[in-house]
Structure 1
Amino acid sequence: MTDSLLPKEIVDLARRVVEENAAAGRTVVLAESCTGGLVAAALTEIAGSSAVLDRSFVTYSNAAKQSELGVASDIIEAFGAVSVACVYAMARGALDRSDADIAVAVSGIAGPGGGTDGKPVGTVVFARLEKGQEQPEAEERFFEDTGRSGVRSQATLCALELLLP
């Protein structure tokens, strides 16, 4: 039984992330947009998470992505905030501004508005970058439009999976 406001599936995965990264002696940093801090919230539900979570940047606006993470305005103008180029820059910026070993960045369209034909609601892009790694790993996913909360929950699960060693 848990007293968490988050779904059990998210808390269970967050527990794995904390336990496995703590065992490996690794710390993590997050750069969140559409998840709005849910990934950090999931990790901090777990006792001992302070040994793993260095910090989290919730950069919901484009201006915050630029000022807090150093994402170049021309990246956002050319590719949009929901793009591989943007999450690459978010992950790099988070890692450069922290003492962490691994960064995960997430940006997407949770809805109900904001989608386009090319980037419909449910489009979420992730990047993962480890210290010393030249190029982040990135992927774009499409989550069924299960409502704003559903898209954000699915994105949170995916981001947590990317934090597993």
Structure 2
Amino acid sequence: MSQPLLSVSGLMMRFGGLLAVNNVSLELREREIVSLIGPNGAGKTTVFNCLTGFYKPTGGTILLRDQHLEGLPGQQIARMGVVRTFQHVRLFREMTVIENLLVAQHQQLKTGLFSGLLKTPAFRRAQSEALDRAATWLERIGLLEHANRQASNLPTATSVGWRLPAAW
């Protein structure tokens, strides 16, 4: 079996006297689709907040490949590709699907304001790579044909499909 992409062992999160997460362990491998289920108040959101750096766990280890995530700032964890989504992703309805996916990548771009204004070679290269990533995401979920459609013109069922990459 392949090496885990994400490995969590003995994760704990305590808020004062409240033990919200107690000894959670899991392993995720590449291309796996899994879910974390449980009743309201079971600690699901708290687990995701620990994995993404929103909370610093009070115990346990979180490894992305072989790199420890526990205690790292959320921005650094996001740059490594571990992010959470929310139930209601806000889209720019007046923009196209591909433009929404480009906006979603803003934290990953290494270029700054001036390189964007001056359209430097580094900016053009980063923009091209971002377009390629967005197209790959859309192709993966079968919505590449909608890349240049305005977000507000998509049926709800279709727009739900590409909201996950928009949250990346």
TM > 0.5 fold call: no
Q: Which structure has more RCO (C-alpha within 8 Å, separation ≥ 6)?
A: 1
TM norm structure 2: 0.26
